[in-house]
Structure 1
Amino acid sequence: MTTRDTSTAGILFILIGMTAISLNDVLIKQLSGGYPLHQLVFTRSFLGLFISFIFLHMEGGWSLLKTSTPGLHLLRALMVVLSNMSFFAAIAVLPLAETTALFFAAPLMITLLSILILGEKVGPMRLSAVLIGFIGVLIMQRPWQSLGDTDANRLVLLLPIIAALTYAINQVMTRKLGVSSKASAMAIYIQCTFIIVSAGFFLVAGDGRFAQGVENGAVVFLLRAWEWPPAGDWPFMFGLGFLSAIVGYCLGQAYRVSSAATVAPFEYIGLPLAVIWGFFIFGELPDLAVSFGIILIMGAGLFVFLRERMLARRITRPTNMLR
């Protein structure tokens, strides 16, 4: 393959992966009113695991699962699980576009963490972009409003920030330790971790006793009792599993066949998709403050990516986001 061919393939994979992520978020939000989060995570990961095994077979078979750094893979997977579950708990309550935009603060956090943890030098232009992006995050938190005037609890507004931070820690850790595995193997490691964590939630809180008397929608979504899905919901459940496998594989492949500097900016297709799905499916439209915050975060993140590309520096590889 020529460089141009691999770049095109990488862009195609990232576009498919980000579209799958946005559709996955839609299904999670759609089902959040009747099922607990840990049940949806267990179901999609269990189903997605089988599809991931097909990808594993295509890439070389069972031997690819062997690794010399199992502890690192476990730690990375736990960071992804915490990131995803924080994000999913948020979209049950917050508008899809707003939650997605706040999560896209992750590249800005990666830039700051790379200074603190990796000792990388970041110039004033990128630091200024990071500052502008965080101003966008602050605007979307609406600090000028009283608690009674906000549509969501302040803690719920922090959930996408927690998701972004844990995701950023995962990526900086990956850069520091230089993990190298096939995309299918890494997807399987994370799918298995999702299954174990969500099964643990079921054993502790699967009967819904901790959700009784709770008013916070995000907490109820996390802790309500398991429900056996009616026939009409099973296509959505299978859709979650299929999309989960597609996300894990396509994002991994995108960063394997092409440079991060080429494909990373295309991740931002997730933001306009979130606005589109939010409007047409859930009737949500960002207000002026949220729209301004989205523009600042998106603009700052793209600037950081493009500036990294100009300086021929390595950009973090956001593989296995697995939302």
Structure 2
Amino acid sequence: MTATPGAIRPVPTPLRGIFFALGGALVLSVNDLAIKALSGNYALHQVILTRAFVGMALVLTVMALSQRGLRQIATRRPRDHLIRVTIVMVSNVTYFLGLAALPLADAVATAFVAPLFITLLSALVLKEPVGPRRWAAVAVGMVGVVVMLRPGAGVIHPATLLVLISALCYASSHMMTRRMRDSESAMTLNFYTQLGFIFVSSTMGLVVGDGHLSGTSDPSLAFLLRQWHWPPFADWPYFIATGLAVGIGGLMMSQAYRTTEAALVAPFEYAGMPMAILWGVLFFGTWPDMTAWAGIALICGAGLYTLWRETVRKQVQDVAAPSGDL
């Protein structure tokens, strides 16, 4: 998972990137579950700080066991890391504030405008080829999200705007990942991300962690400004789960976007949607209706179609010249 600066990188296998994205989406869904479970009793910056320490411990352990070791911390692109970490920070904070006010499945469904943003930005910013079949797969997935959101059924919750901002920042962070892939490994990217989380959440805790700005009835602001307190033993599994999930899932997702075209792997992030439904059923007692299941079918179908197309394309390339974009 590491890359030596200046060395010739092996030709990436698209299917490997797809499976990294798929696995990352599944693992990161555990993070959403844990954050949602903790959002009613703890401050956001306390959760992020605890999560970042767990994630940092995981990243440093993997680094130490890898071939290049802790030398991967060294970077010649501190400015790019600062920009990327800032974007990731805004994406996380806006998403988690929206998650505190919305049902888990609704928040995750709204966040899945991100693959559409990624496909658009990969074409405009990275100049990566995006063929009609990839656009179609993303479009079908987006139709599934719209079906689940039921835009005509009532007023859209204001917290959805926070999730939409998060989705745009999330897509932008992956554009930075693609730009930095030649010199920065997935380990390096995640080390500086965790470092940024530790710095910002610690600062936020020092400023408002005593709870002097708490007391609002708004669930998003309450999550942001709530007083810190020591969690009971029963809540520690959620803190540990969010740290491990963001550490492992972040590494997998970074590797996916480093090695594979962004527009190709983006639809596979939709795998997090059925997981959000499952967690909602198991932990919060919310069971999807038939409309929601129709949306899930469209979302999963789009990802599976893209996986099938890429498998066929790779088989053709093994015996003949490349046949073009999906």
- TM class by shorter-chain length? 0.7 to 0.9
Whole-Å separation in 1 of the counterparts to 2:190 and 2:69: 14
CA contact (8 A) 2:115 2:266 kept: no
- Contact 1:10–1:263, Cα closer than 8 Å, also in 2: yes
What amino acid is the match of 1:285? W
| 197-206 or 136-145: bigger deviation | 136-145
Match of 1:42 in 2: 49
Q: Tell me how far apart the structure 2 counterparts of residues 305 and 113 of structure 1 sit (CA, whole Å).
A: 21
Taking a change above 3 Å as real, the CA distance of residues 129 and 235 of structure 1, as seen in their structure-2 partners, is: closer
- Offset of residue 45 of structure 1: 0.3
Shift of residue 113, structure 1, vs aligned partner: 2.0
What does residue range 68-217 of structure 1 map to in structure 2 within 5 Å? Answer: 68-119=76-127, 122=130, 126-127=134-135, 142-145=150-153, 147=155, 154-176=157-179, 178-212=181-215, 214-217=216-219
- The code of the aligned residue for 2:78 comes to P
Structure 1 range deviating more: 31-40 or 226-235: 226-235
2:236 equivalent in structure 1? 234
In structure 2, the partner of 1:26 is 33
- Cα offset for 1:40? 0.2
2:272 aligned residue: 270
Taking the aligned partners of 2:127 and 2:266, their CA distance within structure 1 comes to 22
Q: 1:218 aligns to what SS in structure 2?
A: helix
Count of residue pairs brought into register by the alignment = 304
1:190-234 residue CA offsets vs partner (Å, 9 max, x unmatched): 00111111122212222223332x222112112211111123323
CA deviation after TM superposition for structure 1 residue 305, in Å: 7.5
* Conserved 8 A contact 1:98-1:286: no
State the secondary structure of the residue aligned to 2:92. helix
Cα distance in structure 2, aligned partners of 1:118 and 1:13: 21
User: Is the contact made by 1:13 and 1:251 (CA closer than 8 Å) also made in structure 2?
Assistant: yes
Q: Give the distance between the partners of 2:302 and 2:17, measured in 1 at CA.
A: 23
- For 1:265 and 1:306, how far apart are their aligned partners in 2? 13
Work out whether residues 91 and 166 of structure 2, in 8 Å CA contact, stay in contact via their aligned partners in 1: yes
Secondary structure at the residue paired with 1:209? coil
Q: Give 1:301 deviation, angstroms.
A: 6.4
Query: 2:265, 2:128 → 1: CA distance?
Result: 22
Distance in 1 (CA, whole Å) between partners of 2:255 and 2:172 is 21
Q: Which amino acid aligns with 2:73?
A: L
CA distance in 2, matches of 1:176, 1:9: 19
1:11 and 1:263 in contact (8 A); partners too: yes
8 Å Cα contact 1:141-1:157 kept in structure 2 = no
Superposition RMSD on alpha carbons, in Å? 3.5
User: What are the ranges of 5 or more consecutive residues in structure 2 without an aligned counterpart?
Assistant: 1-9, 314-322
Indicate the residue corresponding to 1:66 in structure 2.
74
Residue 43 (structure 1) shift: 0.6
In the TM superposition, what are the counterparts of 1:255-294 in structure 2 within 5 Å?
Answer: 266-287=268-289, 290-292=292-294, 294=296
Q: Which moved more, 1:203-212 or 1:224-233?
A: 203-212
Change (3 A) 1:115 1:265: closer
CA distance in 1, matches of 2:113, 2:272: 13
Amino acid at match of 2:102: L
Structure 1 residues 291 and 266, CA gap change in structure 2 (3 angstroms) = same
Name the aligned partner's letter for residue 282 of structure 1. Answer: F
Alignment-derived partner of residue 222 in structure 1: 224
- Uncovered stretches (5+) of structure 1, i.e. residues with no partner: 148-152, 315-323
Cα distance in structure 2, aligned partners of 1:305 and 1:159: 31
What percent of counterpart residues are identical?
43
**Maintained 8 Å contact 1:105/1:133:** no
Does the CA contact (< 8 Å) of 2:138 and 2:267 recur in 1? no
Counterpart pick for 1:55 among 41, 56, 62: 62
Change (3 A) 1:268 1:145: closer
Distance 1:260 1:58, change over 3 A: farther
Residue aligning to 2:246: 244
Once the two structures are TM-superposed, the CA of residue 252 in structure 1 deviates from its matched residue by 4.0
> 2: CA distance between counterparts of 1:22 and 1:178?
25
For the structure 1 residues 95 and 62, does the alpha-carbon distance in structure 2 shift closer, same or farther, using more than 3 Å as the test? same
Question: Equivalents in 2 of 1:18, 1:211: separation in Å?
Answer: 33
Distance 2:264 2:142 in 1: 24
Give the secondary-structure state (helix, strand or coil) at the position aligned to 1:181. coil
Deviation of the 1:177 alpha carbon: 5.2
* TM-score, normalisation: structure 1: 0.78
